[in-house]
Each structure stands twice: as structure tokens, then as C-alpha cells.
Chain A
Amino acid sequence: DTAVSQTPKYLVTQMGNDKSIKCEQNLGHDTMYWYKQDSKKFLKIMFSYNNKELIINETVPNRFSPKSPDKAHLNLHINSLELGDSAVYFCASSQVGGQPQHFGDGTRLSIL
């Protein structure tokens, strides 16, 4: 009955590969987000979508491409993975313009 669910929970891959992380929310929210948490626990927003439309796009390399097939899903595709991409990636959702944001349990990405 998870409200915001991400898959996979762990992702270990080689440098240069392309990978995707999926996120789904069953809260009926209109806005979804991707955050990156580094090894120092610093949490920073990457993207936000409102009803399938990109509304926040922080300074993120264009190797990262979010896609929202519908308002309940926001996936993150990463091309040409680099060592510095190793982090925990969190998906979140909220009502449009509203708070609080509800987070998934994260995807731990490790680049070898």
C-alpha cells in the first residue's frame, strides 16, 4: 500500500551504461519530483513535473532525462553513467503548489 514507490531499490552498474529508475504514486497528486542525496546526506531537487509538464529543471547534466507518461508516474533515465552519479535518488509527490511532499524510499545507485 506504498504511497510513493520507486524501483529498483538498488542499482549497481558500470560507468558508461544507461539506466532508468521508475516512480509511481497512488496519492492522486498532480506534482512529482526527483531529488538526489549525496554521500553527505545533502538533498537537492533535480526536476519537478506538474500534470506531465516539466516545471522545475535545476542545473542537472542533460544525461538525466525525466519522463512523465501520466501524472502518477515520473521516471528518470540516465545516459552514460559517471562515477559522480553514485547517490540515492528520491522521488516525491505533492498536490499542485502544495506541501508537504511525500517521498519514496529511494534508489541507491552505485557506479563501478
Chain B
Amino acid sequence: GESVGLHLPTLSVQEGDNSIINCAYSNSASDYFIWYKQESGKGPQFIIDIRSNMDKRQGQRVTVLLNKTVKHLSLQIAATQPGDSAVYFCAERLGGTSYGKLTFGQGTILTVHP
């Protein structure tokens, strides 16, 4: 499959379980963070974002947690479904760069087994 040889972190879960995907970001001056989902052959698709003045934000079935002390971001997906299988990327934006330059993490492959 496409993931062979990529050596990205992987997470395998059963359908219906909750998934947690983690991300360590690099710059303590980053003011905005975002999660993307990328399915095979597609572009990254926006999931959820959070600003640095928050530590938690919830969407539909997804929650993003931000821990600025340890520069850690996580994405929680509730009741994971096979359609959630994809590569997930976190990205950060350095504060003050108003033109939106995002620095992406390496990605995590999520596989959901029926």
C-alpha cells in the first residue's frame, strides 16, 4: 500500500474506539495550531484548529488539546470510524507572521479496523 516504507508513526484502532494522535511542536512563539487529515490521493483537509490563548477546543467528534508548557498538541477522535483512516498532520504558525506560513509535522498514519 501507499504507506509502505514511509516510516511515519502509526496508530491502529478498532472501530468505535477513541483515538489520540499526538504532536510535538517546535516553536514556543507559535500562536496558532491546526490539524489536517489527508486521505490517499487527496489534499490535506482541515479538521480543527486552536489558538495559543486556549488549551482545548471541541468539534464534531474531535477535540484538540494544547499544552504550551511542554509544546504538545493532541487530536482526540471519538468513536473512530473506518472513514477516519488517513494520515493526520499537525501544523503550527509562528506568531507575528500574519501571512499564514504553516510548519507541518511529520504526520501519523491512523488505521481503523472494522
Q: A99-B34, A99-B49, A102-B46 are in contact. Are A43 and B104 (CB under 8 A)?
A: yes
- Whether the pair B6, A90 counts as a contact (CB closer than 8 A) is no
State in angstroms the CA–CA spacing of A102 and B46 once bound together. Answer: 7
- Whether the pair A56, B7 counts as a contact (CB closer than 8 A) is no
**Taking CB as reference atom, which chain A residue is nearest B43?**
A103
A14 CB within 8 Å of chain B: no
- Whether the pair B99, A97 counts as a contact (CB closer than 8 A) is yes
- Size category of the binding interface on chain B: 20 to 34
Residues of B within 8 A of A96 (CB): 98-99
**Taking CB as reference atom, which chain A residue is nearest B98?**
A97
- Whether the pair B6, A41 counts as a contact (CB closer than 8 A) is yes
Which residues does A use to contact B, with CB under 8 Å? 4, 31, 33, 39-45, 48, 50, 55-56, 90, 92, 94, 96-106
- Whether the pair A103, B49 counts as a contact (CB closer than 8 A) is no
Q: A99-B49, A99-B93, A103-B43 are in contact. Are A40 and B7 (CB under 8 A)?
A: yes
Q: A31-B99, A55-B99, A99-B49 are in contact. Are A44 and B43 (CB under 8 A)?
A: no
Report the minimal beta-carbon distance from B27 to chain A, rounded to whole angstroms: 15
- Whether the pair B44, A43 counts as a contact (CB closer than 8 A) is yes
B106 CB within 8 Å of chain A: yes
B25 CB within 8 Å of chain A: no
Residues of B within 8 A of A105 (CB): 41-43
Residues of A within 8 A of B93 (CB): 99
Report the minimal beta-carbon distance from B42 to chain A, rounded to whole angstroms: 5
- Residues in B80-108 with C-beta less than 8 Å from chain A: 87, 89, 93, 98-104, 106-107
- Whether the pair A56, B102 counts as a contact (CB closer than 8 A) is no
- Whether the pair A4, B34 counts as a contact (CB closer than 8 A) is no
Q: A97-B99, A102-B46 are in contact. Are A41 and B8 (CB under 8 A)?
A: yes
